[in-house]
Amino acid sequence: MDQAWLGIDLGGTNTRLGLVDESGLLARERFATQAPLGPGPWLENLQAAAAELLAQGPRPAAVGVASPGIIERPQGIILNSPNLPAWRDFPLAREVGRALGLPALVENDANCYALGEHRFGAGAGRDLACFTLGTGVGGGLIIGGRVVVGPLGTGGELGHTLAVSGGRLCGCGARGCVEAYASATGLKGLIREAHEQGRPTALERGAGVNRLTQAAESGDELALELLAQAGRALGRAFANVAAFTGLDLIIIGGGVSAAWPLMAPAAHEEMCDRLRLVDPQRMEIRRSQLGDDAPLMGAAAMVRDNPL
């Protein structure tokens, strides 16, 4: 029988599950996470969804879970996740393993995203750095075909590299992170600050990224400026990735990446300005191919690579 693995993406809003084999995704299911209810009801919903899924294909050898937040490895405990406050210190790997009767591993969702794109998506097997532009800016580094986390566990946290010295306050507590400029939260904050300063714009108070993109497309100066600023923050991060790792492939994903075409010119310009050690034309920037399937496919790939 063909080998298969189960991948789970525990999101703040939805949980997605997929049955994955060497060729890719065989079947998928999803249910509402209902994060405030905490992990108990979630585990019950997970069992039901997994039963549906497992009826559709081969029995998986193990389950990989993509989780937001800071993970204690290798135990797979959620130490802290802003989107899942009721899950603090929850032993996710152990409890998912028990609920499904499968060996389980947990990894950060952005790292799983990067691994999914590397194995099944836009990475096409090449080493890469991945930026997921969503509520925050997640990052993942795949080097030698493996996720890099390092002894601190913070490897690949590309959203918390410095974009602007002394800049905006980031959710992590530091100032000037890429996330403070290129995430949905960062951009919303920038729109609010522009309103407070009385900047002329077609953007309403409380506008989000979809509105920002629309306004930029119809030529709103502030909207164009904010997306260019986000692009410059990313361009600096791309140049840093090149200097730290020598990687030449960057994948951009996440909901905010729908606005990538409006950020790309400033990102390229900034990257070329910062990256003088090699010809910046050698850096390749691609959009995600897997989208919302990337984290669960990467989580499944992770347990394939690390037999439990």
**Binding interface with Zn ion (CB under 5 A):** 160, 170, 172, 174, 177
Shortest spacing between CB 135 and Zn ion, in angstroms: 13
DSSP 53: H
Of 82 and 103, CB closest to Zn ion: 82
DSSP-assigned states of every residue in 130-197: EEEESSSEEEEEEETTEE--TTTS-TT-GGGSBSSTT-SBPTTS-BSBTHHHHSHHHHHHHHHHHHHT
Shortest spacing between CB 28 and Zn ion, in angstroms: 32
**One-letter amino acid of 235:** G
Structure tokens at 143: 């080097």
- What is the rounded distance in angstroms from the CA atom of residue 264 to the CA atom of residue 240? 17
Of 99 and 162, CB closest to Zn ion: 162
Shortest spacing between CB 17 and Zn ion, in angstroms: 30
Shortest spacing between CB 157 and Zn ion, in angstroms: 8
Shortest spacing between CB 178 and Zn ion, in angstroms: 8
Of 143 and 172, CB closest to Zn ion: 172
Closest CA to 121 of 301, 302, 294, 300: 294
- What is the rounded distance in angstroms from the CA atom of residue 292 to the CA atom of residue 300? 14
Of 7 and 69, CB closest to Zn ion: 69
- What is the rounded distance in angstroms from the CA atom of residue 135 to the CA atom of residue 67? 14
Of 53 and 237, CB closest to Zn ion: 237
